[in-house]
Structure 1
Amino acid sequence: MPDRPRHLAPTEPPFIETRTVHDRVANDAARGRKHLTRDEVHRLMRGAIRHNRHGRRDALMLCLAFEHGLRVSELVGLRWSAVDLMTHELRVTRAKGSLDGTHPLQGDTVRALKRYQRESGRATGLVFVNERGAPVSADGFRRLLHRLSERVLGLKWHPHALRHACGVHLINQGVDLRTVQLYLGHANIQSTVAYTALTGRQFERLSF
């Protein structure tokens, strides 16, 4: 029987994406929340250095995703041209119609970036690459975080939990909503307001 013409071949349903969304919902329900805490992020960073083959790179990826509220696409697409190690600034190019911005880099993060730059021998192109110089993919980072979080925290976490962690942490520190909106690049402040429901800080001054 002749091969079925390519244009008549049945299309496959998007099993991977469906499974990914299903897993995220199931894991969110198991955890009872959608964001990592600052302590959990730091535990993951220590676990990456201890267990992963490219531990310092992976810990740095976790650090930048948390400290700058990066989506996974923004993280893996980060280029050295956006990192200013002299002025300690990071130029963030946002995805999904969000607003770009320039963030200050923390001292420990600057030192980690400098060390990683020396060890990788790269100061141009993409920041995060593998030993062959190929980019770390979004799916690759997702798998990395799934494995690491299950090993260190006992549950699989999705990369977007790092962005949520940033927003919740800033609000817990008392940063005003307008500043958090600008920092995360939200075009609509309602996206930022949603984080207040995750913290409970809006109720702290209530008394009965």
Structure 2
Amino acid sequence: TAQRGHSPATVNRILQSLRKYGQFRTWKSGQTHNAAGEVRLARLPLLAKPVVLAPEQQASLLLRAAQRTARHARRDYLIVKLLLQTGMRAGELRCLRLDQLELARQQVRVEDEQGQRRFLPLPGELLAELTTYCQRSQLQTGDYLFPGREGGYMSVRMVQQLVTKLGRACGLELNVKVLRNSYAHSLWQQSGDLALLAERMGYRSMTSALRHIVPPRQVTEGDGKAIHL
């Protein structure tokens, strides 16, 4: 079975079935020894937890972004802060428009690729910074918050490159997924609410949301009791 490219977890499920079948045949035949019970399970590789940023690393990243003097420094700073403090995807952030900021309700409205909407709360400081940014940029209703080089909105690749560049300036290897993981980890620690985590991260399935806080093997095996952070 292993030669067919099955994962160790799949191999173990097959072996467990053989053990149980051997146990049944042993009982059925009146014997006392189950040879299949001696079959050893495959060793599962140790899988690391999703990479997250510690609070001090997040602070360092935001400070580095805030201190930049490049042309789009303020834009870049807010992009990183939004990713860290809302958990939205790069594809959702890149095409945010001014009218998606609901300032009175202190939230932002985002849409995924399937057109599903969700509302993400904005911390007070971030809300104030976004308001100032929009005023200084003289954005009008319908304008993109973070326009690209030639008008329109930024590409996902541009967002990813920005995160990677700022991360390396802090001595960190980063991508947008790490920032989403960090938000998910923080939300889980604060709430312990898996349904809320799935909602905020934009998933219909709570199992999908788990991938941001537990090792992949624990998720695929459905071991809900193995959540330890």
Structure number with the bigger relative contact order (C-alpha 8 A, sep ≥ 6) is 1
Q: Moved runs in structure 1, 4+ residues, more than 3 A?
A: 130-134, 201-204
The CA RMSD measured in Å over matched residues stands at 2.7
Matched, 1:105 2:130: no
Q: Is the 8 A contact 1:69 1:184 kept in 2?
A: yes
Aligned residue for 2:112, secondary structure, equals coil
Matched, 1:146 2:164: yes
Describe the superposition over 1:43-72 as per-residue Cα deviations: whole angstroms up to 9, x where unpaired. 212111112512221111111112221111
Gaps (5+ residues) in structure 1?
A: 1-30
Aligned-residue identity in percent: 24
Matched, 1:176 2:178: no
The Cα shift of 1:99 comes to 4.6
Q: Is the 8 A contact 1:142 1:159 kept in 2?
A: yes
Partner of 2:101: 83
Structure-2 change in CA distance of 1:174 and 1:202 (3 Å): farther
The Cα shift of 1:100 comes to 2.4
Matched, 1:137 2:173: no
What amino acid is aligned across from residue 78 of structure 1 in structure 2? L
Describe the superposition over 1:110-161 as per-residue Cα deviations: whole angstroms up to 9, x where unpaired. 1001110111111332111257655332212222111111111x13211121
Structure-2 change in CA distance of 1:130 and 1:52 (3 Å): farther
* Larger Rg belongs to: 2
Aligned residue for 2:109, secondary structure, equals strand
Structure-2 change in CA distance of 1:79 and 1:122 (3 Å): same
TM-score, normalised via structure 1 length: 0.72
Gaps (5+ residues) in structure 2?
A: 1-47, 216-225
TM-score, normalised via structure 2 length: 0.66
Aligned 1:150-169 pairs, distance under 5 A: 150-152=168-170, 154-169=171-186
Q: Is the 8 A contact 2:144 2:152 kept in 1?
A: no
